[in-house]
Amino acid sequence: MRGIQNIISRHFMIMIMGALLCGVALFTPSAFADTEKSLPPRHILVAPEYPSVVVPEGESVSVDLTVRNGGRQGETIDISMPTVPKGWKAWIKTYSFKVSGVFVESDSSKSLTIKAEPEKGTGVGTYVFPIRAKTRDGRLTSASELIVTVEEKEKEEKKAEGINITTSYPVLKGPTDAKFEFSIEVQNKTDAEAVFNLAYEGPKNWDVNFKPSYEDKYFSSLRIKENQSQSMAVEVKPYILAEPGEYPIKVKINSDKAKGEVILTVVLTGTYKLDAGTADGLLSLNAYQGKPATISFFVKNNGSAAQNGIKFLTFKPESWKVEFTPEKIDSLPPGELSQVEMKITPAEQALVGDYSVAVSVEGEKSAKNMEFRVTVRASTAWGWVGIIIIVLVVIGLVFLFIRMGRR
Amino acid sequence: MQGISAVYRKEMADHFSSFRFVILFALIAMVSVITSYMAGITLKESLEGVAKPQFVFLMLFNTTGAMFSMVQFVAFFGPLIGIVLGFDTINRERAEGTLIKILTQPIFRDAVINGKFLAGVTTITIMLVSIVLIISGLGLILLGVVPGAEEIWRLLLYIVISVFYISFWLGLSILFSIFFRSIATSALASVALWIFLSFFVSLGASVLADMVAPANAPGVDSTEAIVKNIRVKEGISLSSPMSLYTKASATVIDPMRKTTEALVLMGPMEKISAGRFQNPLPIGQSVLVVYPYIIVLIALTLVCFAISYLVFMLQEIRT
């Protein structure tokens, strides 16, 4: 019996020993880790990446939130923001959705995002966003807070709420009958694709259209993807009777969430239009070879801007002379009329018949052409000489008849 | 006046009954008709497709058909009519001894020459009018174009100029028939002068012009030289009544002709300016352009007749 007992106890001992050995072998690594980094059994921590931020007025805030599990076991942590300052909306999210709980493995951390959006009218000040984290069983908690300081925004950025409108040439200058095309660039600064409505406030009777650059169609709304920009053109046709001056046009671009506006300025210099003609509309005159003939015509400023230095240019046959009195008109206010005398002297050798003399009335920015038909007539000065010759010959003949007749 | 009308009537009767006149008239009428017919045919072809031709009727007279136009023909051979009608007016009467017989009648001496000259002019007028009428009739049939008022006036003026031109040659031949007793001599003299004035003057004019103002002399601007040469040539050839007549009648017949000069210097601007309105001249302007030519032609004719008259009146005729 004693022998059997011994064997059993010996075996038991070996088993124990073996079990012990096995246990030692199994638990050795953790025993070593424990010695290097003595982890508490459970520990959590929540903290924003940047605990206090400064943003311009109206901008939303987005800060990374680090949730750390420093304990020996994985934890499911509930995260909440117990109170949100007045005038703000805040939530915690990952890339794609809002979160209120996160599982963090032992000795690791997860990154979330705190997003805070001010409501309209949220003023300057310091806002505190408390953040609470606690384990599911409620034994561990961690608190932190995000401090957002809202600064007064710079004036330029105040206008553009989510839209940035830029134009290279905000002021265009030209005559009243011209077409002005402003090229503007619209940037969608929100992070959502949106359709923007286009509107304008301009002077009465003016024609303002929105169109793509270099294309001849008009649109009234524009779709822009998030954080992208699109260039477009604003075409402005002034009212034809508009006085010269400066005209601002306010272009407003807005979507549900964003709006922006830009002021474009058109500077009208007035129209340049010259008219010329004769009082009775007759553009023909008679002239004798080498003898001057005069015709008077009027020059009228039909534009809305003054014309300066109006000159007269002629297309005429060589060796003809065309003179104007006055030689030029220094200044002609809008709507005014000026009378010009034109003296045309055909060349001595000019053939009998019709000639064309073109007169170009040239102002600084406008010109008017007229064509005169000059009928050159044969001079009758020698007619008398011819008649005298014939009369003398006939008198001589009659004298002969009387003297010599009746023989 | 009674004397003149008697001589005039007799002379007319002589003209129209003489074979010489009939043959000459037939010849001239034939040639005129042929030239106009040719002109008509050419015109008809060239006017096809032209939207609105102007003064087509007048073109009948100045279009060179096969050889020459009606106007050119009268210029060359019209003088022959005058010469044929006049070269033996006085010296034939004298040779046949009828002059003294006439003058023994109650007819004054001036009535003889006046009546004869007037009869010649009348014959020439009848001839020209009938030729122009024949051609007009032919033109109406060939072209189907009715002449406008201005065209008729131009034709009338053309007839008047032509009558004076041929009358000049009539007067000249009467003068020769007074000067020369021999009929043959006066005929020859007239023909010689006709050939000289019609052909040699134009030839001599170009020779003289080349001598006086050579067209391609070294060291002279060629355009100027050419113009000067042509001016000299034209000046000299103006001494020929034919040249006077050709220029006058061509301008009267062609409303588009604006100058009598053969060459006109025109700058490029002037050319464009003048070419802008291609209008025909009104008849008054055409006449004014050739006015000096017409005056000289009429004066020449009258002076020529006056000299014949003077010479005849002062001549001893009884021998």
CB contact under 8 A, B291 and A353: no
Q: What are the structure tokens assigned to A46, written together?
A: 């929540």
Residues 6 or more apart whose CB falls under 8 angstroms from that of B73 comprise B31, B32, B35
Residue B55 backbone class (left: φ over 0; alpha: ψ -120 to 50; beta: rest): left
Q: Between these two residues, A38 and A237, which has the higher pLDDT value?
A: A237
CB contact under 8 A, A404 and B310: yes
Q: Using one digit for the tens of pLDDT, what is the confidence trace for A27-75?
A: 444 444 444 567 788 888 888 888 888 888 878 888 888 888 888 888 8
Which of B289, B295, B306 has its CB closest to that of A396?
B306
Q: In angstroms, how far is CA B236 from the centroid of its own chain?
A: 18
Q: Using one digit for the tens of pLDDT, what is the confidence trace for A122-176?
A: 778 888 888 888 888 888 888 888 888 888 765 544 444 678 888 888 899 888 8
Domain boundaries, chain A: 44-153, 157-268, 274-381
Gap from A272 CA to chain B (nearest CA, Å): 30
Considering the domain A44-153, what is its CATH architecture? Sandwich (2.60)
Give the CATH superfamily of A274-381: Immunoglobulins (2.60.40.10)
Confidence bin at A351 (pLDDT 50/70/90) = confident
Give the CATH superfamily of A157-268: Immunoglobulins (2.60.40.10)
Interface residue of B276, B287, B289, B311 to substitute, partner A, most A CBs within 10 Å: B276
Gap from A301 CA to chain B (nearest CA, Å): 28
Rounded to 5°, the CA angle B193-B198-B204 comes to 95
Whole-number pLDDT of residue A32:
46
Using DSSP, state whether A400 is helix, strand or coil.
helix
Q: What are the structure tokens assigned to A166, written together?
A: 């830029």
Q: What is the mean pLDDT of residues A213-238?
A: 86
Q: Which residues of chain B have pLDDT under 50?
A: none
Using DSSP, state whether B60 is helix, strand or coil.
helix
For A320, which residue in chain B has the nearest alpha carbon? B270
Q: Between these two residues, A97 and B220, which has the higher pLDDT value?
A: A97
Whole-number pLDDT of residue A7:
55
CB contact under 8 A, A383 and B285: no
Rg over CA atoms, chain B = 22
CB A48 within 8 A of CB A144: yes
Whole-number pLDDT of residue A157:
44
| Rounded Cα gap, residues A142 and A69, in angstroms | 11
Residue A385 has pLDDT above 90, yes or no: no
| Rounded Cα gap, residues B307 and A138, in angstroms | 158
Q: Which of A45, A47, A35 is nearest to A108 (CA)?
A: A45
CB contact under 8 A, B108 and A406: yes
CB contact under 8 A, A353 and B272: no
Would you list which residues of chain B are within 8 Å, Cβ to Cβ, of chain A?
108-110, 258-259, 264-267, 269-270, 272-274, 276-277, 279, 281, 285, 288-289, 291-292, 294-295, 298-299, 302-303, 305-306, 309-310, 313-314
Do the first three CATH levels of A44-153 and A157-268 match, i.e. the same topology? yes
Which of A316, A318, A400 has its CB closest to that of B306?
A400
What residues in A contact B279, CB-CB < 8 Å?
353-354
What residues in A contact B314, CB-CB < 8 Å?
404
Q: What are the structure tokens assigned to A28, written together?
A: 């050795």
Whole-number pLDDT of residue A105:
85
pTM of the model: 0.66
CB contact under 8 A, B264 and A351: yes
Whole-number pLDDT of residue A325:
87
CB contact under 8 A, A355 and B273: yes
